[in-house]
Chain A
Amino acid sequence: MTLTSSNKAAAAADASASAARPASRHRILARRIGEKLVGALIVLFGAATTAFLAQAALPGDRATVILNTRAGQAIQRTPEELAQINEQYGLLNPIVVQYFDYMRALLTGNLGMSYQQYRPVSAIILEQIGPTLVLTLTAIALSWLIMVVWIILTAGRGPRLSSFGAIVDTTTAGLPHYWLAILLLLVFSLSLGWFPVISGSSPAGLLLPALTLAIPLAGFMSQATRTEFEKSLEQPFVLSARMRGMGDLGVRLHHVLRHSVLPAVTLSGWALGATISGAVVVETVFSRAGIGRVLVTAVSSQDLPIVTGVVVLIAALYVVANLLVDVVYVLIDPRLKNS
């Protein structure tokens, strides 16, 4: 194979106009990372502020509320009792001072004291976060597994199968956790006896709660992935791959899947938060230990510091997860977007 010399010269001239220069690439990357970190800090700061505002907005005299939450009864309190609480929580300080105190404490990892349990919120959360994280991460892994298999099998396979797949996506995405949890519990634990009714924190008890969280999430992600998958299947590069002798399954696995998971990857940071809050319901139904049950108890007893502590924690996890998502995104799609 030889080329005419003029053609080779033309290609060389053309090559000089090549798009990417490594130096500018690095600058773009550094800029992006900077922007992402600033964005992350703003979200954290906003979340903490929201949590503080929620506490400040609690209706009624806060000292009274705190005492009543502790005692679990609603009665009039004496000024001496109130004075002690006001002193302890700094409630008589101007709101701005309280805000700065709250933020300063937060920076040292202090999330405040539980009204009801007389203990630091951070200690309560640390105790309970483990099982919840195990549950959530298992659920997210399961949901990806279900989603990928389901999409490969049903997406872009003719109008009938595709629309059946889409209906299943929509249906599962809309299933409330409590209902799915009860169904799974009734069928697999109570009727079939395959799994313990009370999960506790045992590994055997992990599957049903994780499935409960995974199925709606898989349906939700499938909706976005299916659209993208079917769009990618019609792209010219897919035809190119087929034309060089690749089979249908090969194209799906090697080319189309990579393009189509991008929206689902983007959703993952958000999904982590949603899954943790979904754990509230699931842990209640399956009697599992975890942050969710702590949260439900705290909400019912108006133990606000625990609720706001969990809120800040989940916002922090959301931020960390989103930074990871950004890294994964660039690994999957290394093109730098100009937006």
Chain B
Amino acid sequence: MTTLVTEIRTDAVGVAPTGDPRLSVHNLHVGFTRGGAFHEVVKDVSFDLHAGQCIAIVGESGSGKSVTARSIVGLTGRNATVESATISLDGEDLTTVGEKRWREIRGRRIGFILQDALVSLDPLRPVGKEIEEALKLHGWGDRSSRKRKVIELLDSVGVPHPELRARQRPDELSGGLRQRALIASALALDPEIIIADEPTTALDVTVQAQVLSLLDDTKSRGVSIILISHDLSVVAHLADHILVMKGGVVVESGPAQQVLTRPEHEYTKSLIGAVPSEHTRGRRLGPELDIVATAHPTRFAEEFADYTGPVLEARNLVKRFRSPDGSVSTAVNDVSFELQPGTTLGIVGESGSGKSTTARIALALTGADEGSVTLLGREWSSIRESQRRPLRKRISVVYQDPLSSFDPRWNTERILLDAVTDEEPSTLAEKKARVRELLAQVGLTDAVLPRFPLQLSGGQRQRVAIARALAPSPSVIVLDEAVSALDVSIQAQILDLLVELQKQIGLSYLFISHDLGVISHISDTVLVMKDGAVVERGTADDVFNRPQHPYTQQLVGSLPTLDQEIP
């Protein structure tokens, strides 16, 4: 690994840089001491950042990209050891400056933007106060001139009615507006460098496009940007130069176009290959799978052997919720769909579109106010829970956060044993054999059996969740944002696994996600939801290549892809 890094370091210079770099980082090492042992999390990272340039640091969780960014402003945290040959800002050596000088640099020379302004701005204070704080800390102007400047700043990042918005708290603003306010607070003192750590993660895709375009404007004013992201497609627009990090090491570094189109390192290639999109449908995203899955014969499977209609059918679903002020809002408004056997129906929408409520109604975990659902041609939503219980084995669910869906007192074996149907196999030995079979189907070994959910990695947990969903040999699996919390390479493995299982057992999926790429990769048919209603439906090909509804067109247009031309 280290030889590779030194190799790359030689060309760690940006695109067409002229003159001295604004920021220069050489041979950065960061480690933490835990329980007496020393763990190095950033190893030998080097780069130069020039005026008006954007360097992207891309990597999955644990790659050391955020720690690298924080080291540049001296906020690596307690227990951290930072060693570096050079961190220099316009020639000033930052490795030796004291806390007082750091505080002058932060905000004034280097601005920092974190993800999700809902928690990155103090949730108890108006956003105007937060922006003003930046000015006040650096002794900018007097009270009234600061107030004027705040309004000016909000206006400049495209916030309409800045006087009103300045007095509102993050929770009173929409996702896009508060992220703009966060950016305004980082831009307040005109810093020459902006570090943006996952600035669009957790944002809806349309808002993400707006934020990226705002950063692009900032860059064109000559501000240098360090963009940290897990998502190659997000940085593709903005970055001049890309560093790919894995396990604390820069595995590849080069001009953006070169890294994205002619990646040299295996990891970069696999990262690019792992991004699901409309073009990857029917193709594997990760390495080859070695699983053999068979549906377990159950009494129910035989009972429904002759059934050929839609496995799950929803007709005119309506669900209303009473909000705290007593008014009624419609979360799901006249939603209908059919899920054909052996296919995947994707429901895509932004937060609050009603897609998760639709999933819960499909699972009969929430009752609908109007409309009905049938499962394998039988009444499903309208019957009593006690009648529904035996039928529940035909439909399973995988959630976004598997950890909370596992009883913390149970290990993997107990979790899976609990899910294996009682009727057959009947003896404990048979059940245990079935559990092992399930593990093999999701690509896990028996080694995970004694482990508790907390001791599993994110990918392993999601596999166990899938094994649990497979246990009763269902016809339908509802996947509610099931891959949204995973790193892109793990996500690719899970998506491949789902596709493979579908091929071998003939499962049907109701796949809920906010991620257009994922939906377009896995779905046969797609519903697009907005504000509780279905705005467009059709085959994946139609919806993504020939969107009819303006909202779908906007969504598809906002989607950052690697295939787009690179600036």
Contacts and interface: CB of A to CB of B under 8 A. Distances in A.
Query: CB–CB under 8 A between A and B in the complex?
Result: yes
B315 to A, nearest CB: 29
Given A4-B213, A332-B124, A240 B182 contact: yes
A18 B160 CA distance: 11
A15 B207 CA distance: 11
Interface in A2-25: 2-4, 6-8, 10-12, 14-15, 17-20, 24-25
Nearest to A11: B158
B410 to A, nearest CB: 27
Q: Chain B interface: which size bin?
A: 35 or more
A1 interface: yes
B106 interface: yes
Interface in B361-392: none
Nearest to A15: B160
Contacts, number: 144
B119 A335 contact: no
Interface stretch (A67-75, A184-192, A241-249): A241-249
Contacts of B325: 24-25, 27-28, 31
A62 interface: no
A31 B185 CA distance: 36
B108 A245 contact: yes
Contacts of A107: none
Nearest to A247: B103
B121 A237 contact: yes
A243 B107 contact: yes
A17 B207 CA distance: 12
A245 B157 CA distance: 21
B174 A18 contact: yes
A240 B209 CA distance: 22
A18 B180 CA distance: 13
Interface in B96-145: 99, 103-108, 111-112, 114-116, 119-124, 130, 133-134, 137-138
A11 B177 contact: yes
Interface in B183-235: 185-186, 188, 206-207, 209-210, 213-214, 217, 221
B422 interface: no
User: Taking each of A2, A18, A255, which has the highest tally of chain B beta carbons within 10 Å of its own beta carbon?
Assistant: A18
Contacts of B104: 245
Interface of B: 73, 75, 78, 99, 103-108, 111-112, 114-116, 119-124, 130, 133-134, 137-138, 156-161, 168-169, 171-177, 180, 182, 185-186, 188, 206-207, 209-210, 213-214, 217, 221, 323-327
27 contacts: A1-B156, A1-B221, A3-B156, A3-B214, A3-B217, A7-B217, A12-B160, A14-B174, A14-B177, A14-B206, A14-B210, A15-B161, A17-B174, A18-B172, A28-B324, A28-B325, A31-B325, A239-B120, A240-B114, A240-B121, A240-B182, A244-B133, A245-B103, A245-B134, A250-B137, A333-B124, A336-B324
